[in-house]
């Protein structure tokens, strides 16, 4: 949980701070062009080996068919065995259909029809793979995330139009971008991530994770664009976080994102709003009370000690002139058992305590 906590602080901070202030292409063909040549070469070689093995096995089967009884159909247990074999494979091999089948290749009477559908309630092979990749995306190193991204891209070739793959591709690009200080590299990764999530939105507009990661990427990209674009990105960010919360109101990270966003918007000076309206368009609007409401919701829903969220609640209370409550939240933050990704959080908490205690 601490590792997940740190990752949340990292991506939420990067997505929201600076959001004040999109053109998608379907990625399947893009990834096909980038990776198909090498993937096809691997598959052709593997296919030749598998065909030779199949030919030999069929010859043996014909010779033995009259001597052995008909074997029963394969049950879902063998499918589970196959899925577990795939999950344990952490190499960057191209996960083609041939490779998925070759790990558990068995032959039965040719008149039998094999039941490969998962039983009701049983996860599919793809679900198990995604669960494995989610661990890498949430708690892994940059190398783990890069590896997960390559696997997701390969899976897109076999599962075109799968939004579960597309939004995770966007998530991976964001996490890789967040670890770099190279603006050109960051811009490229965020752009690719936005394209992936836009494609996912066109397929699954009712999915909260798709809206959330699109908003996160837009928020981070706003640091790299003009003031006029930043204001447009701010409206886009809030729109998609609002939609995500309406779909999944129990997601604490969404409430924290919207609370931080509202806090930044509420902090705009009146003359900053006037200048923005005159030259760049009407900026988003929000109040400290709205920000505090969302942060309190995040505090209630989060299953861990969230130091950074407590700090944000205290900052809202200070902005509203409720200093005694602010000190209470600062003390809760400094005494919390959670860890922070950045020492600056603890420094800010102690500075505010000295000032308002």
Assigned token pair, 62: 């014909």
Helix axes 2-16, 125-139, angle to 10 degrees: 80
Q: What is the pLDDT of residue 357?
A: 87
Positive or negative torsion for Cα 190, 1, 290, 206: positive
| Dihedral over Cα of 75, 77, 78, 82: its sign | positive
Q: What is the pLDDT of residue 319?
A: 97
Question: 35 is written with which tokens?
Answer: 């990776």
List the pLDDT tens digit at each of the 357 positions of the chain: 544 555 555 545 544 544 443 333 333 344 444 445 455 555 555 656 566 666 666 666 666 555 544 444 434 333 333 333 333 333 333 233 323 333 332 222 223 333 444 455 556 889 999 999 999 999 999 999 999 999 999 999 999 999 999 999 999 999 999 999 999 999 999 999 999 999 999 999 999 999 999 999 999 999 899 988 999 999 999 999 999 999 999 999 999 999 999 999 999 999 888 888 888 888 999 999 999 999 999 999 999 999 999 999 999 999 999 999 999 999 999 998 765 556 889 999 999 999 998
Gap between the terminal Cα atoms of the chain: 31
Please, which residues have CB within 8 angstroms of residue 201's CB and are 6 or more apart in sequence?
24, 210, 211, 214
Task: Give residue 343's pLDDT.
Answer: 81
d(CA 48, CA 160): 25
Element containing residue 95 per DSSP (H, E): none
Q: Residue for token digits 């981070």? A: 220
* Predicted pLDDT at 269: 92
Q: How far apart are CA 147 and CA 127, in angstroms?
A: 18
Q: Contact, 137 vs 145, CB < 8 A?
A: yes
What integer pLDDT is reported at residue 68 of this predicted model? Answer: 47
Closest alpha carbon to 304 in 327, 336, 281: 336
Question: CB under 8 Å to 161, separation ≥6 — which residues?
Answer: 28, 203
Q: Which residues 6+ apart lie within 8 Å of 295 measured at CB?
A: 255, 256, 259, 260, 263, 309, 312, 313, 316
The dihedrals phi and psi of 292, each to the nearest 5 degrees, come to: -65, -35
pTM: 0.68
| Whether the Cβ atoms of residue 6 and residue 218 lie closer than 8 Å to each other | no
Please answer whether residues 93 and 42 qualify as being in contact, where contact means their C-beta atoms are separated by less than 8 angstroms: yes
Distance CA(241)–CA(136), nearest Å, equals 24
How far does Cα 110 stand from its chain's mean position? Answer: 43
Among 199, 162, 191, residue whose Cα is nearest residue 25: 199
CA distances from 182 to 41, 162, 178, 221, 341 (A): 34, 31, 10, 13, 20
How far apart, in Å, are the Cα atoms of 305 and each of 102, 233, 318, 340?
46, 31, 21, 10
């Amino acid at each position: 949980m601490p590792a997940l906590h740190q990752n949340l602080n990292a991506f939420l901070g990067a997505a929201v701070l600076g959001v004040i202030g999109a053109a998608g292409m379907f990625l399947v063909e893009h990834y096909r062009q980038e990776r198909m040549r090498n993937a096809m070469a691997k598959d052709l070689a593997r296919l030749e080996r598998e065909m030779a093995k199949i030919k030999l096995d069929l010859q043996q089967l014909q010779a033995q068919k009259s001597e052995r009884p008909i074997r029963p159909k394969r049950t879902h247990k063998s499918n589970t065995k196959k899925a577990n074999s795939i999950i344990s494979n952490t190499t960057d091999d191209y996960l083609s259909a041939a490779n998925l089948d070759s790990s558990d290749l068995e032959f039965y009477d040719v008149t039998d029809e094999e039941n490969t559908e998962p039983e009701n309630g049983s996860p599919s092979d793809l679900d198990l793979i995604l669960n494995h990749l989610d661990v890498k995306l949430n708690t892994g190193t940059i190398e783990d995330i890069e590896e997960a991204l390559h696997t997701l891209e390969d899976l897109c070739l076999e599962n075109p139009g799968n939004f579960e793959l597309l939004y995770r591709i966007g998530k991976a690009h964001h996490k890789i971008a967040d670890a770099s200080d190279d603006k050109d590299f960051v811009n490229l990764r965020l752009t690719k991530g936005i394209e992936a999530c836009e494609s996912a939105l066109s397929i699954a507009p009712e999915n909260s994770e798709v809206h959330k990661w699109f908003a996160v990427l837009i928020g981070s990209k706003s640091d790299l664009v003009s003031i006029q674009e930043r204001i447009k990105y701010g409206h886009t960010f809030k729109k998609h976080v609002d939609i995500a919360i309406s779909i999944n109101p129990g997601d604490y990270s969404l409430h924290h994102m919207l609370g931080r966003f509202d806090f930044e918007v509420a902090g705009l000076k009146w003359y900053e709003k006037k200048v923005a309206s005159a030259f760049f368009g009407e900026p988003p609007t929000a109040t400290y009370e709205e920000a505090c409401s969302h942060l309190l919701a995040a505090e209630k829903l989060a299953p861990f000690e969230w130091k950074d969220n407590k700090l944000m609640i205290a900052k809202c209370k200070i902005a509203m002139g409720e200093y005694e409550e602010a000190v209470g939240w600062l003390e809760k933050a400094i005494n919390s058992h959670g860890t922070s990704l950045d020492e600056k959080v603890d420094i800010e908490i102690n500075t505010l305590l000295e000032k308002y205690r």
